[in-house]
Amino acid sequence: MKILVPVKRVVDYNVKIRVKPDGSGVDLANVKMSMNPFDEIAVEEAIRLKEKGKATEIVAVSIGPQQAQETIRTALAMGADRGILVKTDGVVEPLAVAKMLKAIVANESPDLVIMGKQAIDDDCNQTGQMLAALLGWAQGTFASKVEPGEGTVDVTREVDGGLQTVSLKLPAIVTTDLRLNEPRYASLPNIMKAKKKPLEETSPEALGVDVAPRLTVVSTAEPPKRQAGVKVGSVEELVQKLKNEAGVL
Amino acid sequence: MESHDAQADHAAIREAVQKLCAGFPGPYWRALDREDRYPAEFVAALTDAGYLAALVPEEYGGAGLPLSAAAAILEEIHRSGGNGAACHAQMYVMGTLLRHGSAAQKARWLPEIAAGRLRLQAFGVTEPTSGTDTGALRTVARRDGDVFVVDGQKIWTSRAEHSDLMILLARTTPRDACAKRTDGLSVLLVDMREALGRGLTLRPIRTMMNHATTEVFLDGLRVPAENLIGEEGRGFRYVLTGMNAERILIAAECIGDAKWFVETASAYARERVVFGRPIGQNQGVQFPIAQAYARMRAAELMVREAARLYESGAPCGAEANMAKMLAAEASFEAANVCLQTHGGFGFAEEYDVERKFRETRLYQVAPISTNLILAHLAEHVLGLPRSY
């Protein structure tokens, strides 16, 4: 079984982001970038399937600027076999990403695409679903467990009421939730080996996809500053305040 | 502080080390500090991930990386709030064996060291009566058939309790029979697993911070003659050649400490509100942090320059020593500023500032004190009369 894992280069989750003064987006100058944490979980799951003998090859693909190849190298150091960089600068919306992934799927013919349920920068949570729709493949989103069978994959999903398990016919799309696994960190020998693994480069044009944005960002604003709290003297006073001032009781 | 070229700066290694260190946060180090305990779990994780074999050549199972990669690894450990002193010597002590050992010795020991199955991170040089005056050391190794019989005492031998092997410097020819006082010393590789209780005794020394260091007593210890590294009588030179690497790596740890202090102080000064505004808005608070940052960056340049010279094979004694001195000064200045910025909270254990403060102070004293670095520069770079 061949697995395709899309990985996105995003602002590191530890960074306190700042909105650009003109409100057009987030300031990315000199900010630490890392692999989207949900994508790390996707890479980890693919590697575990390979270690169990269920997968034979893992291809990591990233769509983004030249530096996105560092993100691919991270996936290769964790254990992916080879990488594909679709080089493009500027904003790429989920639909364009899904179209490019569809073109890569046509070239690579994977049995399974495992990807993060969303990226922590724009929180769109669209690409996996759009890719499934474009390909006409089954999808198992928000996976907390992935069990491949014969020509199928069982995906346990985290839904509001608890857990739901769906059985998908391969080929299929799986998007990962936080509790699927805990990603490994790469060892030094594997970081060295990753430098020698093949990384091919292509472009949106070569894949025949127009990446021009369909959406216009109207404004970007920081969340309102939290106001200082007050100390209450007694339970009675707290109940009073919740009733009369906060209006939540 | 992400301002360097990613390739030259071992960015992928740094990122992976950061991830590993994230599993060993402040509370882990605080608990060890309280109990004066060795960070066995952290050392095991670093060993398993291959970092301690960074400098061992690939033919012996290591990563065969340049010194700057090892420096990056140690810098990131310290920058994360942790401390590499419990195991940094596993990276470089093997250098004596690598450079001066026989093919048979290297084939026997290095693959085991690279795999982490054998720990070689004890370096028995300093003695109670000689300190930096290595030529005056009194530990004697006397040849008796196919063994050396060793008598003497070492002090400040770090990690000896957590090491399987020790590089030991001992006098094999009496000082008055040598042309130079540093002649007649030899390097022996001691297998401490066999030696403990048979002429080798370790006594731990409790120190200002959680650092596993010992006194070593050698009393008729029998070391196989095949464990002599290189030629008899040339040991002082062999030990010296490893010192530049050690200086540069310790300097990198200081840079990591300084970055942790500057980042921690800045974060606190941004958040802490007194008199209705963040304390970092006051120049009296922000200038010392900015100054510490500038000093750290200057020292960092010297560390990189020393590593560059080392990797090119050029002489780098002065640069390695200056890097260690400047980085240790920069880290302690940053420590002091960080403590001052935190006020009373800096003294509370849960902020980690006081622990890191104690830890980083060591590096103006060990592995070489600042005065000896200045004496070296004065004599060998400036051509001034030898002062000691």
Q: pLDDT class for B80, splitting at 50, 70, 90?
A: very high
Torsion of Cα atoms, B302 then B305 then B310 then B314, to 10°: -120
pLDDT surpasses 80 at A243: yes
Structure token digits, residue B355? 């622990």
Q: Is A91 helix (H, G, I), strand (E, B) or coil?
A: coil
Touching check for B5 and chain A: CB below 8 Å? no
- Is there a contact between A188 and B13 (Cβ–Cβ < 8 Å)? yes
- pLDDT per position as a tens digit, A30-70: 899 999 999 999 999 999 999 999 999 999 999 999 999 99
Q: Would you list the DSSP string of B347-359? A: GSGGGSHHHHHHH
CA of residue A126 relative to chain centroid, distance: 10
Please name the residues between 101 and 160 in chain B that touch chain A, using a CB distance below 8 Å.
none
- pLDDT per position as a tens digit, A72-120: 999 999 999 999 999 999 889 999 999 999 999 999 999 999 999 999 9
Query: How far apart are alpha carbons B268 and B250 in whole angstroms?
Result: 27
Closest approach of chain A CAs to the CA of B12, in angstroms? 7
Q: Is B6 in Cβ contact with A185 (below 8 Å)?
A: no
Which of A188, A196, A225 is the best mutation test for B, with the most CBs of B within 10 A?
A188
Closest approach of chain B CAs to the CA of A226, in angstroms? 13
Nearest to B367 by CA among B251, B261, B255: B251
Start-end of H helices in A126-202: 127-135, 188-194
Query: How far apart are alpha carbons B149 and B186 in whole angstroms?
Result: 13
Question: Which pLDDT score, from 0 to 100, does residue A106 have?
Answer: 97
Q: Which of B2, B6, B63 sits opposite A188 (nearest CB)?
A: B63
Q: Count of CB atoms within 10 A of residue B220's CB?
A: 11
Q: Is A187 in Cβ contact with B50 (below 8 Å)?
A: yes
Closest approach of chain A CAs to the CA of B43, in angstroms? 14
Nearest chain A alpha carbon to B1:
A30
Spatial CB neighbours of B44, under 8 Å, sequence gap ≥ 6: none
Q: For residue B272, what is the DSSP state?
A: -
Print the SS3 string covering B50-97. Answer: CHHHCCCCHHHCCCCCCHHHHHHHHHHHHHCCCCCCCCHHHHHCHHHH
For domain A2-215, give its CATH number from 3.40.50.620, 3.40.1640.10, 3.90.1150.10, 3.40.190.10.
Answer: 3.40.50.620
Contacts of B15 in chain A (CB under 8 A): 34, 74
Q: Is A70 in Cβ contact with B12 (below 8 Å)?
A: yes
Q: For residue B369, what is the DSSP state?
A: -
**Mean per-residue pLDDT, B73-85:** 97
- pLDDT per position as a tens digit, B349-363: 999 999 999 999 999
User: What does pLDDT average to over chain A?
Assistant: 94
Which of B5, B19, B77, B264 is the best mutation test for A, with the most CBs of A within 10 A?
B19
Q: Count of CB atoms within 10 A of residue B111's CB?
A: 17
Query: How many secondary structure helices (H) and strands (E) does chain B include?
Result: 13, 10
Question: Which pLDDT score, from 0 to 100, does residue B90 have?
Answer: 96
Question: Which pLDDT score, from 0 to 100, does residue B185 have?
Answer: 96
With a pLDDT cut of 90, the percent of chain B lying above it is 94
Using beta carbons and an 8 Å cutoff, which residues of A are at the interface with B? 30-32, 34, 67, 70, 73-74, 77, 185-189, 191-192, 194
Nearest chain B alpha carbon to A69:
B12
Q: Count of CB atoms within 10 A of residue B241's CB?
A: 12
In chain B, the domains with their CATH numbers are 4-115 (1.10.540.10), 120-233 (2.40.110.10), 237-380 (1.20.140.10)
- Interface ipTM: 0.84
CB pairs under 8 A between A and B: 42
Burial of B24 (0-12, 13-18, 19+ CB in 10 A): buried
Query: How far apart are alpha carbons B118 and A118 in whole angstroms?
Result: 45
Q: pLDDT class for B8, splitting at 50, 70, 90?
A: low
Contacts of B16 in chain A (CB under 8 A): 77, 185-188, 191
Q: Count of CB atoms within 10 A of residue A109's CB?
A: 9
**Mean per-residue pLDDT, A122-147:** 97
pLDDT surpasses 70 at B6: no
User: What does pLDDT average to over chain B?
Assistant: 95
Quick one: residue B88, left, alpha or beta (phi over 0 = left, psi -120 to 50 = alpha)? alpha
Overall size of chain A counted in residues: 249
Question: Which pLDDT score, from 0 to 100, does residue A5 have?
Answer: 98
What angle (nearest 5°) sits at the alpha carbon of residue B13, between those of residues B11 and B17?
115
Which of A34, A185, A197 is the best mutation test for B, with the most CBs of B within 10 A?
A185
pLDDT surpasses 70 at A126: yes
**Mean per-residue pLDDT, B336-358:** 97
Q: Is B20 in Cβ contact with A185 (below 8 Å)?
A: yes
- pLDDT per position as a tens digit, B140-192: 999 999 999 999 999 999 999 999 999 999 999 999 999 998 999 999 999 99
Query: How far apart are alpha carbons B146 and B148 in whole angstroms?
Result: 7
Cis ω before A6 (30° cut-off from 0): no
List Cα–Cα distances, B159 to B105, B131, B315, in angstroms. Answer: 23, 18, 29
Q: Is B54 in Cβ contact with A30 (below 8 Å)?
A: no
pLDDT surpasses 90 at B115: yes
Touching check for B240 and chain A: CB below 8 Å? no
Query: How far apart are alpha carbons B200 and B284 in whole angstroms?
Result: 55
Question: Which pLDDT score, from 0 to 100, does residue B2 have?
Answer: 44
Query: How far apart are alpha carbons B92 and B318 in whole angstroms?
Result: 19
Phi, psi of B196 (to 5 degrees): -60, 130
pTM: 0.88
pLDDT surpasses 80 at B70: yes
pLDDT surpasses 70 at B5: no
Identify the H or E element spanning B360. helix B353-361
Which of A191, A195, A197, A225 is the best mutation test for B, with the most CBs of B within 10 A?
A191
Q: pLDDT class for B1, splitting at 50, 70, 90?
A: very low
Nearest to A212 by CA among A221, A220, A204: A204
Q: Is A194 in Cβ contact with B15 (below 8 Å)?
A: no
Q: Which residue has the tokens 């990226």?
A: A119
Structure token digits, residue B121? 């991170």
Structure token digits, residue A2? 């061949």
- pLDDT per position as a tens digit, B302-324: 999 999 999 999 999 999 999 99
Q: Is A74 in Cβ contact with B12 (below 8 Å)?
A: yes
pLDDT surpasses 80 at B3: no
Q: Which of B6, B12, B20 sits opposite A77 (nearest CB)?
A: B12
**Mean per-residue pLDDT, B261-266:** 98
pLDDT surpasses 90 at B131: no
Query: How far apart are alpha carbons B234 and B352 in whole angstroms?
Result: 44
Spatial CB neighbours of A11, under 8 Å, sequence gap ≥ 6: A17, A26, A28, A31, A32, A33, A34, A120, A121
Nearest chain A alpha carbon to B4:
A30
